[in-house]
Amino acid sequence: MKKWILAVAISAALMGCANDTPRETVLPEGVTLIENVKVADSEIGIAYKKYQLANGLTVILHQDTSDPLVHVDVTYHVGSARELAGRSGFAHLFEHMMFQGSQNVADEQHFKVVTEAGGTLNGTTNSDRTNYFETVPSNQLEKMLWLESDRMGFFLPALTSEKFEVQRETVKNERAQRIDNRPYGRMSERFAQALYPAGHPYSWPVIGWPEDLDRATLDDVKHFFQRWYGPNNATLTIGGDFDELQTLAWVNQYFADIPAGPAVQAPSKIPVTLNESRYISMEDKVHLPLLYIGMPTVHAGHPDEAPLDLLANIIGGGKTSLLYKNLVKDGYAVQSSVSHPCQELACQFTLYALANPAMGGKLADLETKIDESIAEFEQRGVTDDDLQKVKVQFEADTIFGMQSVRGKVSTLAANQTFYDNPNMVASDLARYSKVTKADVMRVFNTYIKGKPRVVMSVVPEGQTQLVAKEDNFTPVPLAVAKDAVTGLTEVKQDNELKQVSSSFDRSKMPQAGKAPQLNVPELWTATLSNGIEVMATQSHETPTVELVIYLEGGHRSAPIDKAGLAQLTAQMMNESSSKRSAEELANALEMLGSTINFDSGKSQAYVQVSSLTKNLAATLEIVNERLFSPAFNAADFERVKQQQLQNLQHLMSDPNYLASNGFSALLYGKSTAMGSSNLGTIESLNAITLEDVKAFYQQQYTAGNAKMVLVSDLAKQQVLPMLETFSQWQGKASPIAPINKRLYAAPATIYLIDKPGAAQSVINIGRRSLSYDATGEYFKATLMNYPLGGAFNSRINLNLREDKGYTYGARSSFQGQKDSGEFLASASVRSDVTGAALTEFINEIRHYQQAGMSADELAFLRNSITQGQALDYETPRQKASFIRRIQRYQLDNQFTQQQTEIINSITLDELNSLAASQLDIDSMLFLVVGDKQTIEPQLKTLGYPIEIIEQP
């Protein structure tokens, strides 16, 4: 990969991105080179070549040999904005359908083939595009092109009504899990109805309205595919370590004979205006009232997009913003933010605040405070620092976004899809760099000041007195469009679809090439003068530094009657120092494009630092200031404590949190650190004083507890002297109490937490199990679990999701720590099938325990896990996680090679023996969080004792 040198001016980067025409190369027939963009070492950008096939498919190739992997992305210029009134959800439903097999790829095989190849895959849909992508070892590229081309050109012959019905249920489950069963989940779709005119393509949710999904037919799905999924409406982008000419030959072979679809025009921009402010409200199962305000602005790529982004940052972007000062700092809100999200057709300027119930929680008061903050901005204007820090942040975000080949491929694909120009990195940097104070004030006056807006109040059930203002808007019902699509000039009949032919035999899956050489990071170690161990690696991919300081202890070091103390102390470390206020420190970090975050988990606290290399020394000075000179101001303490209390009460309305916390309490006992939330309880948080925080700081933040992990483009001799700034750190290691081995709950019992009105039930099944090891019984148990619930095409997921349609996803895993571990199987399922889903879980686990895996499943896990190692160390954060594992568990640097040897040599008998010993269903607990009235009658038929657990 090219080197990055960031000292150059952005204007120089713009001039340097030349579209050079290479010496004539013999290309496959029908393949045309459109442009060749090179990027010099002194520039910020992504080098690529852009081609087009005769059928209209755009192909973008970006070579990156830093890791032995490739990322393949196919983006179709179709999202929910192409849908019609009453026909919502088609684009997203179709994303699901595209994983269900095609003419030459069997049912459920897409996930299996990619996973067995050691890769990862997914698809996403938004309002404006749908994309499908895989990251795989580089020797698997041809196979990915075969898969993607088969579903682009040969999908419909394999489409059946049975597949359609299962995926329709899966989408409904996804909606229930992500929207209906989540606090504030329905807010965005309600807000969009009010902000956009009736019939505007952004006025309905991407996932679709349930009634629209119900009225969809199999023919509608076929027509949607025929209209939008032609190669002329797609961009194929490939990034990574590949041979260019060979890749072009494969692309031409697999995609060239797919006929073009109907012509597709870029959608017209649809300006949005409001004649008057609209007020809407919604009651929800939440604790914190939320105010959400939005105003229509421009569209993505508009000249005013950049100054509006800067304006949003100034008014509500973090601790240096006006909203933070006036709402959060003063205690009126627990959280607030301003953003300017942009889509292809329209953007919106949005402000939100979560009210602090301790201050009354009235959203009208918050609206007043927001208006006062906007008026303060008008009086204050724009400062030089405002402009500089936002521009630095944009530059840093751009660079950090290119740490993975997927990040670069996604950037190229999006820019091609929406602007017909992949080469926009430098021009985007330039347009933000050129924003002036006058530009920001102009867009403020044009789009924000005094403009009508949508104001949405979300309040706890039964507390309508908290809404900002009485509702004055009701959505206009729309007539249902007769057809699901328009512009489909020729509808192919079923008999035509079954006769799709190709110029070669597509039924044979390509063989993988020679396995690539794995690039396991080369590590170096050092010990600072005060004994702190450092483990690190040098990575040349981007001029960035990831530093993580780990401190053993965390929640387990705090007394149980002060649960939440470790988290509260960590958050106080993010506040003021004795030298500067939290706002001054935040401003200094923003001017550097750096982040420093103190946090705490069950068994360790940590400090995560991300910095551009050129700003590392200045960033470390701020780390030192926060680490060694915390102010522990009383005002900061009261605010942070109140935020943690309110956050905890908010999470208690989330069924997933209730399930996770409740299951830990059953396994370890709610009066123990392992069995309680690191956020604490209402009682324990109320009991914590500022003196407790100061005392815990002295106990936790010592050199004896600390170790460091570093990933940087600097060599050891360059970066190690910078770390000596931590040599002043003193203090011994703190003891951690051992985990009690006692059992706290009866096995083979269903524990039920009532969540009245819940759209889904969260099921957790499991028991205490093996602690972590890298090459022993725990590691082998993770292998054993892989076919049961560790992969997408595992037995559990295929049964509950694909066969039964009970859930959006089901899984199982072994989760090991230093001195504890659990086996956990889980899913969120439809309330009406809770009992049936639990039965299927039990049957699958019991059958697997008794009969074990098959030889085919063993071969699958061997291929998948060993080849997947090529993806494990790509980004700096992945490298840091890998290094931390070696450091924390004192592993051999070559432990992955030992794991590979185990995977290749372990026998079916050994794995099945582990299943027999570790998966006894009668030794497991069953926890269900859901609507007791709906699900208890179902659970009673299963024959297990049922105990009701009261919410804390």
pLDDT band at 908 (very low <50, low <70, confident <90, very high): very high
Q: Give the global pTM.
A: 0.91
User: Does 512 map to a domain?
Assistant: no
DSSP secondary structure, 870-932, as one string = GGTT-SHHHHHHHHHHHHHHT--TTHHHHHHHHHHH--HHHHHHHHHHH--GGG-EEEEEE-H
Distances (CA, A) of 898 to 303, 874, 902: 55, 20, 6
Least confident of 576-590, 814-828, 861-875: 861-875
Rounded CA gap, 748 and 743, in Å?
Answer: 13
Query: Are 226 and 285 within one domain?
Result: no
CATH of the domain at 142: 3.30.830.10
22 pLDDT higher than 70: no
Whether 935 is in a domain gets the answer yes
E strand or H helix at 281, and its extent? strand 278-284
In a domain, 292, yes or no: yes
The CA-atom distances, in angstroms, between 422 and each of 408, 418, 427 are 10, 9, 11
pLDDT in tens, 61-98: 999 988 899 999 999 999 999 999 999 998 999 898 88
289, 252: one domain: no
Same domain, 261 and 282: no
By percentage, how much of the chain surpasses pLDDT 70? Answer: 96
Least confident of 189-193, 730-734, 738-742: 738-742
Same structural domain, 631 and 698 = yes
Looking at the fold, whether 774 and 833 belong to one and the same domain comes out as yes
* Residue that has been written with the tokens 């994983």 in this structure: 99
Please tell me whether residues 197 and 289 are part of one structural domain: no
User: pLDDT band at residue 685, thresholds of 50, 70 and 90?
Assistant: very high
What pLDDT shows up at residue 14?
32
**HSE-up (13 A, CA, CB side) for residue 358:** 16
Cα–Cα–Cα angle for 307, 414, 448, rounded to 5 degrees:
25
Does residue 476 fall inside a structural domain? Answer: no
306 part of a folded domain: yes
Are 263 and 282 in a shared domain? Answer: no
* Domain limit, last residue, from 248, 267, 286: 267
The reply to whether 513 falls in a domain is no
Residues 293 and 380 in one domain: yes
* Nearest CA among 826, 931, 834, 800 for reference residue 169: 800
CA dist 49 → 32, 477, 483, 738, 916 (Å): 11, 47, 39, 58, 54
DSSP state of 577: B
Q: Is the same domain home to 821 and 756?
A: yes
pLDDT at position 4 over 60? no
102 belongs to a structural domain: yes
Indicate if the pLDDT at residue 717 is higher than 70.
yes
Which residues have C-beta within 8 Å of that of residue 134, sequence separation ≥ 6?
71, 72, 114, 119, 120, 121, 144, 147, 148
pLDDT digits (tens, 9 = 90+) for 799-832: 999 899 999 999 999 999 999 999 999 999 999 9
Paired tokens of 712: 């940087």
Are 539 and 578 members of one domain?
yes
Same-domain pairing of 580 and 432: no
Q: Which uninterrupted H or E stretch holds 165?
A: helix 161-175
Same domain as 642, residue 567: yes
661 belongs to a structural domain: yes
Bridge partners (DSSP) listed for residue 335: 354
Number of domains in the chain: 4
Average pLDDT, the chain: 92
Name the pLDDT band for 895 (thresholds 50, 70, 90): very high
Using pLDDT thresholds of 50, 70 and 90, give the confidence band for residue 514: confident
Domain span at residue 286?
A: 278-401+421-466
The Cα-based distances of 614 to 67, 171, 398 in angstroms read: 24, 46, 15
**Three-state secondary structure string covering 123-160:** EEECCCCEEEEEEEEHHHHHHHHHHHHHHHHCCHHHCC
Q: How many CB atoms lie within 10 A of CB 601?
A: 15
Amino acid in the structure at residue 533: E
CA atoms within 13 A on the CB side of 758: 29
345 touches 196 (CB < 8 A): no
Phi–psi pair at 647, nearest 5 degrees:
-65, -40
